[in-house]
Amino acid sequence: MLKKLVTILFLSGDPMSVNDIASILKTTSKEIEECLPELNDALTSIGLSLLRNNDGLSIVTEPEQSSLVEDFRKEELKGELTPAALQVLTLVAYLGNPTREQISYIRGVQSSQSIRTLTVRGLINRNNEVCTLTSEAMKHLGVTAVNDLPEYDSIHKSLSEKLQTREI
């Protein structure tokens, strides 16, 4: 169970409720709660911590690593966007308000890291799972409205159809 908990929390990238984790792992909330002390001990042994904020659980770095995290984040803001981040930015622009799950589905890979990078850089906003393009991103792209993007109508339609076939 411990490995499954770590996997779910790592893949999520965002805090998850005990109930949501229990549902995914097809177990009870009580069983998840009983595993949390062992999970915390395991994470602590490798320099991580289990953060519990309200009902949300997430894996975070230890406070002692804050200077390393700060240096990493500063470095992350330098330079060009990665191809993965550009793909995510494109999907947010052409889909409108996609969820993280929709972005990952279309890309075929987990996209939390790219979404986080774009959020840190101020190019997208996140409200729970929904991603939206910021005015800063619009300025960066040189457009005043998303439908001014190249081939907006056809690309938007194609991506929307792909999502609809998945949801059926």
Residue 95 binned pLDDT confidence (cut-offs 50, 70, 90):
very high
Looking at the predicted structure, is the pLDDT value of residue 140 above 80? Answer: no
Helix (H), strand (E), coil (C) string for the chain: CHHHHHHHHHHHCCCEEHHHHHHHHCCCHHHHHHHHHHHHHHHHCCCEEEEEECCEEEEEECHHHHHHHHHHHHHHHCCCCCHHHHHHHHHHHHHCCCEHHHHHHHHCCCCHHHHHHHHHCCCEEEECCEEEECHHHHHHHCCCCHHHCCCHHHHHHHHHHHHHHHHC
Query: 95: phi > 0 → left, psi -120 to 50 → alpha, else beta; which?
Result: alpha
34-38, 95-99, 111-115, 139-143 — which is least confidently predicted?
Answer: 139-143
Per CATH, 2-65 and 79-167 having the same topology is answered yes
When pLDDT is cut at 50, 70 and 90, the band that residue 15 belongs to is confident
Quote the pTM value: 0.58
pLDDT at 76: 61
Residue 41 DSSP one-character state: H
pLDDT tens column, 30-89:
999 999 999 999 998 998 889 888 778 988 888 787 778 777 766 665 678 889 999 999
131 pLDDT more than 90: yes
Segment 119-129 mean pLDDT: 87
Of the chain, the percentage scoring pLDDT greater than 90 comes to 45
Query: Beta strand 48-53 with 124-127: parallel, antiparallel or unpaired?
Result: unpaired
Q: What percentage of the chain carries pLDDT values higher than 70?
A: 95
Q: What is the CATH number of domain 79-167?
A: 1.10.10.10
- Residue 129, pLDDT > 80, answer yes
pLDDT at 14: 74
SS3 161: helix
- Domains of the chain, residue spans: 2-65, 79-167
pLDDT of 168 above 60? no
Short-list 103, 127, 6, CA closest to 113 = 103
Average pLDDT, the chain: 87
Residue range 2-65 in CATH 1.10.10.10: yes
Exposure string for 49-63, b = 16+ CB within 10 A, e = fewer = ebeeeeeebbbeeee
Model confidence at 157: pLDDT above 90: yes
